[in-house]
Structure 1
C-alpha cells in the first residue's frame, strides 16, 4: 500500500512536470535551432535562439525587423496538433528536423507594398536600408507583392540563399510561431 502511494506520488510529479513543460513551450517561450544559412550573418547555422510565444498566445502585432519563426506551410491552416508537435518535447522524438519551420525577418506588414527591382527591396516605394544582410541580392527577378490583412512578408538575411516570402508569398499571422528574444 505504501509503495503504491509512493508510485502514485512520483507518477503525479512526473505528469505535472511534463504538462508544465508543454505549457511553457506552447504558450510562453521555446528554444529553436537555426537550420541552414538563410539568416547569415545575423544567425549562424546550428545557433540556438529563444523565441517568445507570448505574442502568438495573445495578439501578435508584427514590427518591421522582427526575427520570427514561421510555419512555411501557408497553404493550410495551423491546428493545436501542430502547436503540440512543434514543441521541443515532441520534436526530440522525431527522426529528423522539420523543414517547415523557418527563421526569417519581417520585411512587410499588412497593407504594405513590397517591390523587388534591380535586386533591391522597396517597401511602399522606399528603398530599404538593410545593414543586416549578408550580401547584395543577385539574379533576383523583379517582383511586386501587396501584403493582405493579417499577413506579413518575410525574408532571410542571406538573400541569395533563402527560401522566404518571395517563394511562398505572404505569411498568415497565425503561422508566426514566435518572436526572437535572445
Structure 2
C-alpha cells in the first residue's frame, strides 16, 4: 500500500512537470536552433536561442529590428494544436519532427502594417528612408523596382545575411500568428 502511494505521488509529480513544461513552452518561452547562415553575422548556424512567446500568445506586433522566429508556411492557418504539437517535448515522441522540416526561420523585422519597403541602390528603404543597418556585413546585391506594402496583420522580415536569405522577398508577408516569438535571450 505504501509503495503504491509513493508511485502514485511520483506519477502525479511527473505529470504536473510535463503539463507545466507544455504551458511554459507554448505560452512563455521556447528554445529554437538557428539552421543555416541567413542571420550571419548576428547569429551563427546551429546557435541555440530562446524566444519569448508572450507576443505570440497575446498577438502583439514586434518592434522594428526585433529578431523573430517565424513559421514560413504563410499560406496555411495556424492553430493552438500547432503550438502544442511543435513543442520540443512532444516532438520527442513524434515521427515527423516539425523542427527538422525547416519551417521555422529566424529573421529580423523590417516592416510593419502599412509600411512601404523598397530595395534600391543596394539598400533597404522603409517609407522612403534608407535604413541604417549596422548588423549587415556586406552590401546587399538585391535591387527591385517593386514596392512592398505590408498588409494589416502582417510583418515583413529579412535575414541579416541578405544575399543568402529566404525571407519575405521570397515567401511573402508573415501573418502575426506565424510569429512564434521574439528573441529576448542569448
**What band does the TM-score fall into relative to the shorter chain?**
over 0.9
Distance 2:145 2:120 in 1: 5
Q: Mapping of 1:74-113 within 5 angstroms?
A: 74-93=74-93, 94=96, 97-113=100-116
Q: Output the TM-score relative to the length of structure 1.
A: 0.94
- Hey, what's the Cα distance between the residues in 1 that align with 2:6 and 2:47? 41
Match runs of 1:36-115 below 5 Å: 36-93=36-93, 94=96, 97-115=100-118
Q: Deviations over 1:1-55 (max 9, x none)?
A: 2222222111111111111111111011011111100000000111111110111
Aligned counterparts, 1:1-182, within 5 A: 1-93=1-93, 94=96, 97-182=100-185
Cα distance, 1:82 vs structure 2: 1.2
**Residue 49 of structure 1 aligns to a residue in which SS?**
strand
* Larger mean Cα displacement after TM superposition, 1-10 or 45-54: 1-10
- For 1:97, what is the secondary structure of its paired residue? helix
Q: Does the aligned pair in 2 maintain the 1:68–1:105 contact within 8 Å? A: yes
Separation in structure 2 between the aligned mates of residue 112 and residue 134 of structure 1, nearest angstrom:
25
State the 1:113 CA deviation.
0.4
Q: Deviations over 1:87-130 (max 9, x none)?
A: 22123445571311010000000000011124321100111111
Paired residues, number: 182
Between the aligned partners of 1:175 and 1:135, the Cα distance in structure 2 is: 29
SS of the residue 2:8 aligns to: helix
> SS of the counterpart of 2:100?
coil
Work out whether residues 118 and 142 of structure 1, in 8 Å CA contact, stay in contact via their aligned partners in 2. Answer: no
State the Cα RMSD in Å. 1.5
Q: Structure 1: which 5+ runs fail to align? A: none
**Can you give the 5+ residue segments of structure 2 that lack an aligned partner in the other structure?**
none
Deviation per residue, 1:37-80 (Å, 9 max, x gap): 00000001111111101111123122100000000100010011
